A and B are shown apart, each in its own frame.
Chain A
Amino acid sequence: MLYRTNAKSLFITSALISWSLLLANVLLAAESMHRESSIALDLPFVNNFLIVVFIISVFGFQRLSAENLKGIDFIGYLWNIFAKGGIAAYLSIALLMVYRMVTNYSSVQSPLLLHMVYQVNFGLLVLFLAKAFYVWRQLILYHKNKFIQIAWDWYEILLFATLILTLLNFNYSSLIFLPLLGLIGLYTLFLCTNLKWVAYLTFNKKGRSLILLVAILLACYIFADFFNGFADSPLLVIDYSDVGFLLLAMFFVALYTLASFLVALFSLPTSSVFEQKSEDLLNFQRLSQSIQQGQSEKQVYDMLFESTVKASDASAAWLEIFKGEKKDEIELCHQLTIEEEQIKRIRHLLLAYNIQHIDYINNNLDRNPGFRDLTLPWKSLIILPIKSKKHLFGVLYLLKDIEQGFDRETVNVLRTFTNQTILTIENLRLVHESLQNERYKEELKIASVVQDSLIPKKFPSDSWFEISTYAKAAKEVGGDFYDFLQLSESRIAIIIGDVSGKGISAAFHMAQMKGIFHGLMQQDMPPSEFMKQANSALSRCLEKTSFITSALYIIDYRMKGFMFARAGHCHTLYYNSMMDDTFYFQTDGLGLGIIRDKSYNNHVREMYYDYNPTDVMVIYTDGIVEARNPQNDEYGEDRLRYMLTQTYHLEAEDIKYAIINDLLDFTGPTENLYDDQTLLVIKFKPTQPSE
């Protein structure tokens, strides 16, 4: 930035100095020519050098300032040329007139004044050309490609190279340079075909740009006329029409202005088409961006209706949106110059033809007797259903008062609009759904936490037995559970259960079971009685296809024994240290909720067992024994039993880890469990509490 400001002020300074020096030099020469023509102080090289410095300074300055022009405000560009360059031309003509008036009035020939005017005009000309040159450059390079950029860069270099001719005081009009000039002329002509910006002007802007272009052309003419008039004038000591660069620059500026003028003029009739297209494009963008902008479905439909009516230039239209899944709930959400009565009649007719929800175009309604009878003021109709593969969102109806109103081109645009709308609506719904899912996930997380709190983390630590637990749910919430209740000082009830199925419904039943356990066991009943009452309670609230397996143990350390009943739950694994034997308790017992009447009472057995110190009891759910490896084999009761024979001497915690590690070895690393897994290891301790 600093560099640019510095460069700019440098250019201004050098321009001012070179121009002033040039003026001084010219006036000096004029004065000497006027007075004593014998001693003509002819310093062409100095003059030429100053001219070149001035031109380069002004062009350099304009080149830097033109780079500020950005965006598509082309009128602003043109105005820039006119206001800053074109005015120079009118100033110069005014100056000339003042000079003429002064000389006519005083009827004195003043060569000094003439030179002054000539010199000022030269300055204005260079200013104008530089301004126009670089604004046109910006416009030529609008939507540029690499080729145009290179072509322009070379053109600029070539043009400035002609300044060397001036510097060396060559006469460009000599025959040698004519072909070269011709080539440069062709080059200029080629560059002048880059007029993409004109297409972006709307009709109104084209009109305004035409006026500005005429003004610029006029400026060109004024300058050309002025310098042409003074070319080879005997009155002047210097002739700027000899500077080939100026001529070429003028040629370029004028030609490009003319080309722009003509193109703008002749594209006036077609500009409305282009305007429509660019508006369509803009509407597509708006539609597709409406998701990011968090717009509602209604706003999307608003946009669709507005855009399609504009794109097709329809004279009447309406949009129906289907609410909910059923197609009979129609909401008439937009209406344009059509009565509800007319809509009703048309819809009735379409229903009769059975073409209400399909793509349909009728470009000559009068030819159809049904539509003719309706005596509608329209002659063309198009029906555009807004539907995806699965869903019908709505139907758009457009009417036009001319025949063949919907040509293929228009229909394509309309279809693109409806397709984009479908995409947008579906995406909106997806976004909505995913938000909803996110919320469900959050709620599931909460459920998971709640359920986790239902399972006791710590058993009462007693010196007469130790217990270790493991629980893992296949989903966020599961159907496995275990719990305990201290019945008296020496008795504790432990329950394990498994609700059929998984997920939320299983989790609810599990919570229910926990409630039943705590409710019934307050009354301290034997396990078989508990099962009967639990079955009776669950019969009334369990779904038909659901059932619960459970096992209840009441351990009495004073009696050194435990009582238990099994309701369809996995057999209890037991290690008897006295016999040094591992076995499953084979007792009968039907799952809860399978028989929902009194006859259940015959299906549950109770058992009492005396335990020895260091006996081990393993309680688990079917998720453990039915866990599978990649070969689809089940872990099985035998392997579980084998594990206990290997580990019974360990502490309860270590037995549990040994079993779980073996289970993980067996199943391999799996992210998704097939079923909930729960494992309880109870080891009776040799030391009894001292009383």
Chain B
Amino acid sequence: MKITNQIKDTTIIITLDGELDASSSVMLDEALSDPEIMTYSKILVDCKDLNYISSAGLGVFISHLQRFEDAQIKLIFYNMQDKVRNVFEILGLDLLMTIVSDYEEAMTIADE
């Protein structure tokens, strides 16, 4: 699992590469717990190379969801593989989180 950050103005783009399982979700939790992340208005998560997400990985996003919402930070997932998207959908997260097809769409939603 590789987590990389890219910053564009008030947007932070987090790229997930690999499998988000119980051990790598700790890394993700650390990245999302960084107080600095609260200074951005948008968090874009690029899931192009995310091959698998475990319940622990989902748990990390869920645990931060409320916090971002309260701070009015938009959390947007894009480029999600069908397999991974299916996991989000089964759990019902697609109705809670914003999941879009590509970067452009993500940026337009983010700018609304």
A binds B: yes
Q: Which residues of A contact B91 (CB under 8 A)?
A: 547, 549, 568, 590-591, 594
Question: Contacts A502-B22, A571-B90: A590 and B63 contacting too (C-beta < 8 A)?
Answer: no
Question: Contacts A501-B22, A547-B62: A590 and B56 contacting too (C-beta < 8 A)?
Answer: no
A567 to B55, CA, bound (A): 14
Over the window 541-559 of chain A, the binary record of Cβ atoms lying under 8 Å from chain B Cβ atoms (1 yes, 0 no) is: 0001111010000000000
For window 555-611 of A, CB contacts with B under 8 Å fall at: 567-571, 588-591, 593-596, 603
For window 1-59 of B, CB contacts with A under 8 Å fall at: 22, 29, 55-56, 58-59
Residues B96 and A588 in contact, CB atoms below 8 Å apart: no
Of A501, A544, A596, A603, the contact of B55 (CB 8 Å cutoff): A501
Of B59, B65, B83, B96, the contact of A546 (CB 8 Å cutoff): B59
A545 to B26, CA, bound (A): 11
A315 in the interface, Cβ–Cβ < 8 Å?
Answer: no
A-B contact count (CB 8 A): 60
A569 to B87, CA, bound (A): 10
Q: Which residues of A contact B92 (CB under 8 A)?
A: 567-568, 588-591, 594, 603
Q: Which residues of B contact A547 (CB under 8 A)?
A: 55, 58-59, 62, 91
A466 in the interface, Cβ–Cβ < 8 Å?
Answer: no
A498 to B55, CA, bound (A): 10
Q: Which residues of B contact A452 (CB under 8 A)?
A: none
A569 to B29, CA, bound (A): 24
Question: Contacts A500-B55, A501-B56, A502-B22: A545 and B62 contacting too (C-beta < 8 A)?
Answer: yes
A32 to B65, CA, bound (A): 132
Q: Which residues of B contact A501 (CB under 8 A)?
A: 22, 55-56, 59
Q: Which residues of A contact B65 (CB under 8 A)?
A: 594
Q: Which residues of B contact A275 (CB under 8 A)?
A: none
Of A549, A567, A569, A594, the contact of B96 (CB 8 Å cutoff): A594
A500 to B65, CA, bound (A): 17
A604 to chain B minimum Cβ distance, whole angstroms, is: 8
A398 to B106, CA, bound (A): 71
B39 to chain A minimum Cβ distance, whole angstroms, is: 22
Residue in B56, B91, B92, B96 whose Cβ sees the most chain A Cβ within 10 Å:
B92
Over the window 87-109 of chain B, the binary record of Cβ atoms lying under 8 Å from chain A Cβ atoms (1 yes, 0 no) is: 10011110110000000000000
Over the window 47-84 of chain B, the binary record of Cβ atoms lying under 8 Å from chain A Cβ atoms (1 yes, 0 no) is: 00000000110111011011000000000000000010
Q: Which residues of B contact A502 (CB under 8 A)?
A: 22
Residues A568 and B90 in contact, CB atoms below 8 Å apart: yes
For window 389-421 of A, CB contacts with B under 8 Å fall at: none
A634 in the interface, Cβ–Cβ < 8 Å?
Answer: yes
A547 to B96, CA, bound (A): 15
For window 490-525 of A, CB contacts with B under 8 Å fall at: 498, 500-502
Q: Which residues of B contact A498 (CB under 8 A)?
A: 55
B51 to chain A minimum Cβ distance, whole angstroms, is: 8
Residue of B nearest to A498 (CB): B55
A54 to B56, CA, bound (A): 96
Q: Which residues of B contact A622 (CB under 8 A)?
A: 55, 87, 90
B106 to chain A minimum Cβ distance, whole angstroms, is: 22
Residues B60 and A594 in contact, CB atoms below 8 Å apart: no
Residues A545 and B63 in contact, CB atoms below 8 Å apart: yes
Q: Which residues of A contact B29 (CB under 8 A)?
A: 545
Residues B90 and A569 in contact, CB atoms below 8 Å apart: yes
B102 to chain A minimum Cβ distance, whole angstroms, is: 24
A545 to B29, CA, bound (A): 10
A217 to B33, CA, bound (A): 92
A569 to B90, CA, bound (A): 6
A549 to B90, CA, bound (A): 9
Q: Which residues of B contact A549 (CB under 8 A)?
A: 90-91
Residue of B nearest to A501 (CB): B56
Residues A594 and B22 in contact, CB atoms below 8 Å apart: no
Residues B63 and A544 in contact, CB atoms below 8 Å apart: yes
Residues B56 and A500 in contact, CB atoms below 8 Å apart: yes
Q: Which residues of A contact B93 (CB under 8 A)?
A: 568, 590-591, 594
Of B56, B83, B95, the contact of A545 (CB 8 Å cutoff): B56
Residue of B nearest to A628 (CB): B52
Q: Which residues of A contact B87 (CB under 8 A)?
A: 622
Residue of B nearest to A571 (CB): B90
B95 to chain A minimum Cβ distance, whole angstroms, is: 7
List 13 contacting pairs A-B, 8 Å CB cutoff, sorted by A: A500-B55, A500-B58, A549-B91, A567-B92, A568-B92, A568-B93, A570-B90, A590-B91, A591-B92, A594-B65, A595-B96, A596-B66, A603-B96
Q: Which B residues have a C-beta under 8 Å from some C-beta of A?
A: 22, 29, 55-56, 58-60, 62-63, 65-66, 83, 87, 90-93, 95-96
Contacts A500-B56, A590-B96 supplied; 18 other A-B pairs, CB < 8 Å: A498-B55, A500-B55, A500-B58, A544-B63, A545-B56, A545-B59, A545-B63, A547-B55, A547-B62, A567-B92, A568-B93, A569-B90, A588-B92, A589-B92, A590-B93, A591-B93, A603-B96, A622-B87
Q: Which 8 A-B pairs have the closest CB atoms?
A: A590-B92, A500-B55, A545-B59, A568-B91, A544-B63, A545-B63, A591-B91, A594-B62
